[in-house]
Amino acid sequence: MKNFLKILLVLFSTTIISEKSSGEEKTKIDTGHKYNIYTGMFDFSDEGKKSQILGIQHLNDNLFRDIFLGTIKPVTGFMLTADSASYLYTGIQAEYKIGKLNLTPSFTPGLYHEGDGKDLGHMVEFKSELQLSLDLSQSTEFGFSYNHLSNASLGEKNPGANSYMFNFVKSF
């Protein structure tokens, strides 16, 4: 986990230095692809089963739709806990910009594998998440998010899991 935080620090430093070091205006080709690398605590509210988490998400800004709820985009990702539990998901997220702040709610159904971690009661789980991030530059955001995993009572039990993460989002 310490190595991951070092990598985030290097990415963050490199982004700020490269964007401020040149007086020339560089033309950047935006492909519309964003990657969100995150780390935090899986199921922090369950003292017996909480575990460190590491994950990555892909966002494609080219596939947006403007609807009455705002701008909706697809999101796909994977997370892994220190207890070898994993979650592969895909769904949608909305984006609301408030100056340099971004409020990003999302809903992503996916497949959960317990590993040595918490038994959530079913293989199919639903993740509801809220992320708040700050624009550090045109192509970089840093934020905090909270999510809840639940199987919506598909299984015999539905304990759920609450997690928080620190997010580093980079556009390419």
Q: Is 40 helix (H, G, I), strand (E, B) or coil?
A: strand
CATH code of the domain covering residue 57: 2.40.160.20
Token duo for residue 126: 């639903």
Q: Which domain holds residue 139?
A: 2-9+34-171
Q: Which amino acid is it at 64?
A: F
Quick check: is 167 in a domain? yes
Instruction: Write out the chain's pLDDT in tens, 172 residues.
Output: 555 555 544 554 544 444 444 444 445 556 889 999 999 999 999 888 899 999 999 999 888 888 888 889 999 999 999 999 999 999 999 999 999 999 999 999 999 999 999 999 999 999 999 999 999 999 999 999 999 999 999 999 999 999 999 999 999 8
Count of residues in the chain: 172
**Cα atoms in the Cβ-side hemisphere of radius 13 Å centred on 71:** 12
Quick check: is 17 in a domain? no
